[in-house]
Every structure is written in C-alpha cells, then in structure tokens.
C-alpha cells in the first residue's frame, strides 16, 4: 500500500539537509531534516512489517533483507566507485585515512567512525568525503534489527487468546519505551555536556526518531482517528521545522533537548495527516523527484566537497548541481538496473545485458573501488596538513616549556645560592591561554612581546579556562595579565563560562579577552559578543577586537579553513600589534 502525501515529506526533509550541507551558515540546524527522514523510515518499515504480520501471520526475513539490500547497496557501491576515481584529482588532505573512511562507508559503520574521529559537519579542518553516510549507517542498523525484534514480539504473542491484539499492544509499548529511553539518553548526555559527537551520530540517541515512527505506525493500524486537514497540517509542520532550522544550531543544547523532539512530533503530525487523506493529489514534479532523492543524497556531498576544493563557492555550487545530476541519472537508470538484473531503459536505447556481462561489470567496479581506495590511502599523508602544523607547533610548545622549566630551576638554584643578588624581573608578566589558533604564531608572540608565555592546545574548550588558571595559580606561574584567546571551541553559554574565568582569577590580576573569528558562523561570533559584555562589566578586563580586524581583512585567512591563519605573516603582525596594544592598555588598569 502506497500512502499518498509522504513524498512531499521525503522531498522536504532531503531538501533542508542539502541546504544545510552547502549553506550551513544560512540554515544552521538544517540537519533536523535527518529527524524527518528517520521518523518517516521508522513509520514505513513498521507499517509494512505490521501489514505482513496481520496478513501472513509471519515475517519473511529473507525476502525483507533481500529487498532492503537491493534498495540500498547499489547506490552506495556506485557512489564509492565514482568518488574513489574523482578523489585522485583533489588535494591529498581530503584522502587522509581514505581507506578507513571507505571501509566505514561500505560496512555502514560511518557513524561510529565519525564518533571515534571526533567528526562533524562543523568541526573538521577538511571535510570527510563519506561523512554523510553516517545517516545511512543508522538507517541500515534499524533495518537490520527492527524486523528481528518485531518477529520476536510476534512469536512471544502467539500463545495468547487474541494474538493480533496482544502483539499490537506489545509492539506499541516496546516502541514507546525504546523511544523514551533513547530520547532520555539524548537529553541526559546533552544536559551533562557529554560527547556531542556521540549524541549526534550514535544509534543509541538517534534511533529514537525511528521508534517514534514505529509507534505511530502501530497507532494507525490499531486505531481510527478523524481526518486531519492535510494542507494545513503539513505546511504548518514544515514551517515550524524550517523556523527551528534557522534558529537552532549544532552547538546549542536546546537543539537536542527540545529541537529533536519537536521535529519528530511535527513529522508525525504530517504523516497522520497524509494517512487520513487518501484522496491527496500529488503534483507531477514531486512524483518525478521523489524516486531520485536517495541517489541525490548519496552523491551530492562528496561531489560538493570535491568541487569546493577546486572552485569558488558559486562555481562549486553550479558544478555540484551539474555533476550530481549526471551521476544520479547514471546511477538510477543504468547502474542500479544492471545490479538488480533489470533491463536498462534509456528511452532512446534499451539494453538487457547478459548475466555474465552484469557480473563482470559489478566485479570490476568493486575491484577498481578497492584498488583506488588503497592507492589513495598509500599516496596520502598520515595527517591533514593543518593537523600536522598543529601537532608540530604543539610539540615545539612542549619543548619550549621544558626549556622554560629548566631556566626556572636554574634561576631558583641561583637565587638560593646568591640571596644577595636575587633576580628581579621588571617586565609585566603575561600568561596567554589559547587553542589551536595560537599554536601557529606562538613563537612569534613570545619573541616579539617580552614577558609573555603562550599556552595553547588544539581543540581546547573555553570551559576549561578556569581549571587551567587554577593550575597556574597553584604552581605560582600565572602572570600579572592573563590573555584569553579561546572561544572557537565553546560549548556552553559563553557569558557563564567567562564569569567562571573572572571568579578563578586571583586578586590584582588583569584580563584581556581576544574576540574569536570563525568564518563558518555568522559574525559577530556569540563568544565575541559575550566577551564584550564581560569587558563592559568589569574594569580590569580589556577587550581585544581580533574578530573585527579579521572581518576587515579576509586576506588573513585566504587559503585556510577560515579559523586558523598559520604561516600568513600579515596576520601574525596584525595580531601581535593588537595584542601589544591590549596588554599595554591592561597594564594601566587596576587589577581585580
């Protein structure tokens, strides 16, 4: 049974995901479209499983898995094959750990690969070519496990007087309990600031949407309900989800605590409206587009990443549309029919390859894909160039710290042996705490500004600053002026985090807050706004407007990821000039 009206939902969900992937600065929570697709999948799979149980009193698992495999795998194989060939033409940074990504994608474990590598659409220096397959991995995990659980529920219900009713009640209750547990885990981990990547990519948190869909599928089968106005319900749900997609973001807790739940709920309303309106007339364009959505999703992301690496954004977008369109047609009308054993119908030409030709073609695709993946990995470095720079800079900082510690020990020994000639440092001592952004120009700062000590670390959170300050206090190494150059990795509400920094500072200390520039987000950055607020509130706090400077000079970030400005001399000089000015201004103020 085909439910009219659901194609609108499918096309809408995929559309906002595509917009998010390409224009996440415009639609920062477009990933809510994933929830739409997950709820829809949970509903449709459960709806058809329940149909089969009610009709045949059993589930043919072999037929089910064969159907799912034929639906899902050909597109994935084609995508991997095409990307493995195209990847030879792009920067080697994109093929670091390529074989690992290749295997994760082919084995439908990309979501756990991204969790282990700390990946996301937001945080990577270089985008993974198969990052988008995390979505498919979770779909496949649900497709594999849910029919087994449904079959188990049915078999344990057979001994009851009313098998159908008992089975339905147990299925209903199981779906509801699993939804509550999964959503509860999402909310709990978000509230406790646990691994955000796990919350976003894990089966344990994301399967809640599928369970919601399954719950409603059982509801539709068991109960009657009034006809819901389709147009009003579906448009209303779509508008609210779109508003949330504009207002929320990956970093906001409310996205996971409330946004996911509301999107699931609104999707269900749209599904119920579609089911209750059997006379819906779907417009021709939607009917035409819907069958291609799966192929479009599979191919658009790697094509966009490859094109973006070679062209400016407008050209990359145009090339993505053209190349994706061509590849989608080849996959849908040629590759998939060959894989499925169906005739290739190109309107002007009909071909029905022999079984031998099909097998040779598919084996060739698999072999070429594997050989290409191995070759790409072999030809690539172990690290992305920017990650390598960060690692080298971090190593240099550690060696520099060892040298400083040795000098401190030598100084202490000299002071102990020569109490009458105790060394007195007349300079204003400044402790600079930063993240990976400062690893590049750490040596430049320490060389140009006397009395400064830079402590920078990759992926350091703003929330860690109070703890670091406490450690410096205990060791007696905290400077008279503390410069905080953190913020690109802030998770919590920045004003609250900065207030904790203020609280951790010892008396008479002065603080400089460096505004953070991150081209991936709208300016001014939320952390920069919080820093201004804190600087206005406390007289011993000085605001250094680096973000404002960077916005005036985009050339500082030319050829970079839009966050780090490694190796760009003009940027180093401009940063130092502002830093010297801020330290001088801070030195004239009274301390805390």
Whole-number pLDDT of residue 238: 96
Q: Is the Cβ–Cβ distance between 488 and 460 less than 8 Å?
A: no
Q: Which DSSP string corresponds to 79-117? A: HHHHHHHHGGGS-GGGGTTHHHHHHHHHTT-HHHHHHHH
Q: Which of 466, 553, 541 is nearest to 505 (CA)?
A: 466
**Which residues partner with 350 through β-bridges?**
345
CATH number of the structural domain 385-587: 3.40.50.1110
Q: Is the Cβ–Cβ distance between 45 and 58 less than 8 Å?
A: no
Residue boundaries of the structural domains of the chain: 6-379, 385-587
- Residue by residue, pLDDT tens for the chain (592 residues) are 678 889 999 999 999 999 999 998 899 999 999 999 999 999 999 999 999 999 998 999 999 999 999 999 999 999 999 999 999 988 777 777 889 999 999 999 999 998 887 665 555 456 889 999 999 999 999 999 999 999 999 999 988 889 899 999 999 999 999 999 999 999 999 998 788 889 999 999 999 999 999 999 999 988 877 888 988 999 999 999 999 999 999 888 999 999 999 999 999 999 999 998 877 877 888 889 999 999 999 999 999 999 988 898 899 999 999 999 999 999 999 999 999 999 988 777 788 888 898 999 999 999 999 999 999 888 766 544 445 555 455 555 565 666 666 666 666 665 455 443 433 444 568 999 988 888 777 888 888 888 888 998 877 889 889 999 999 998 888 999 999 998 887 777 889 999 999 999 999 999 999 999 988 777 888 899 999 999 999 999 999 999 999 999 988 887 777 788 877 888 889 999 999 889 988 988 999 8
Q: Is the Cβ–Cβ distance between 381 and 92 less than 8 Å?
A: yes
Q: Which of 530, 446, 447 is nearest to 487 (CA)?
A: 530
Whole-number pLDDT of residue 408: 64
Three-class DSSP category at 278: coil
Whole-number pLDDT of residue 415: 47
List the structure tokens of 394.
């971090």
Whole-number pLDDT of residue 386: 46
Whole-number pLDDT of residue 141: 98
Cβ-proximal residues to 281 (8 Å cutoff; 6+ apart), any chain: 4
List the structure tokens of 338.
């060959």
Q: Which DSSP string corresponds to 219-241? A: HHHH---PPP-HHHHHHHHHHHH
């Amino acid at each position: 049974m085909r439910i009219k009206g659901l194609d609108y939902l499918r096309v809408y969900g995929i559309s906002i995901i595509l917009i998010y992937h390409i224009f996440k600065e415009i639609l920062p929570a477009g990933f809510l479209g994933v929830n739409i697709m997950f709820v829809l999948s949970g509903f449709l799979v459960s709806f058809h499983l329940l149909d089969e149980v009610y009709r045949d009193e059993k589930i043919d698992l072999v037929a089910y898995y064969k159907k799912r495999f034929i639906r899902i795998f050909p597109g994935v194989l084609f995508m991997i094959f095409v990307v493995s060939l195209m990847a030879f033409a792009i920067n080697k940074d994109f093929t670091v750990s390529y074989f690992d990504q290749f295997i994760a994608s082919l084995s439908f474990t990309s979501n756990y690969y991204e969790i282990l590598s700390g990946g996301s659409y937001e945080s990577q220096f270089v985008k993974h070519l198969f990052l988008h397959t995390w979505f498919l991995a979770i779909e496949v995990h649900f497709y594999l496990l849910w029919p087994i659980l449904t079959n188990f529920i049915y078999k344990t219900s057979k001994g009851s007087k009313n098998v159908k009713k008992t089975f339905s009640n147990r299925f209903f209750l199981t779906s509801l309990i699993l939804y509550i547990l999964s959503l509860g885990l999402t909310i709990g981990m978000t509230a406790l600031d646990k691994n955000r990547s796990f919350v976003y990519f894990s089966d344990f948190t994301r399967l809640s949407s599928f369970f919601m869909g399954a719950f409603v599928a059982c509801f539709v089968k068991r109960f009657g309900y009034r006809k819901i106005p389709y147009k009003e319900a579906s448009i209303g749900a779509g508008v609210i989800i779109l508003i949330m997609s504009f207002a929320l973001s990956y970093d906001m807790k409310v996205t996971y605590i409330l946004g996911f739940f509301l999107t699931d709920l609104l999707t269900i309303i749209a599904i119920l409206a579609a089911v209750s309106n059997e006379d819906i007339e779907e417009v021709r364009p939607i009917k035409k587009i819907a069958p291609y959505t799966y192929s479009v999703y599979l191919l658009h992301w790697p094509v966009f990443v490859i094109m973006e690496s070679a062209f400016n954004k407008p050209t990359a977008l145009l090339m993505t549309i053209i190349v994706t369109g061509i590849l989608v047609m080849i996959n849908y009308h040629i590759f998939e029919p060959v894989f499925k054993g169906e005739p290739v119908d190109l309107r002007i030409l009909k071909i029905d390859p022999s079984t031998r030709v099909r097998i040779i073609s598919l084996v060739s695709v698999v072999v070429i894909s594997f050989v290409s993946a191995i070759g790409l990995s072999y030809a690539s470095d172990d690290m992305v160039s920017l990650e390598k720079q960060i690692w080298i800079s971090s190593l240099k900082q550690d060696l520099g710290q060892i040298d400083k510690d040795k000098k401190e020990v030598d100084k202490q020994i000299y002071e102990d042996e020569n109490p009458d000639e105790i060394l007195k440092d007349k300079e204003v001592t400044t402790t600079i705490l930063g993240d990976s952004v400062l690893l590049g120009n750490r040596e430049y700062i320490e060389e140009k500004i006397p009395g400064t000590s830079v402590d920078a670390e990759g992926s350091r959170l703003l929330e860690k600053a109070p703890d670091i300050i406490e450690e410096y206090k205990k060791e007696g190494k905290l400077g008279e002026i503390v410069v905080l150059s953190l913020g690109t990795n802030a998770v919590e509400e920045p004003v609250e985090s900065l207030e904790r920094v203020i609280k951790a500072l010892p008396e008479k200390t002065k603080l400089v807050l460096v505004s953070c520039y991150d081209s991936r987000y709208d300016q001014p950055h939320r952390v920069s706004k919080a820093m201004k607020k804190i600087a206005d509130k406390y007289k011993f706090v000085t605001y250094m407007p680096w973000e404002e400077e960077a916005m005036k000079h985009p050339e500082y970030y030319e050829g970079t990821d839009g966050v780090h400005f490694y190796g760009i001399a003009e940027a180093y000089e401009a940063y130092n000039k502002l830093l010297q000015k801020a330290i001088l201004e801070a030195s004239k103020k009274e301390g805390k």
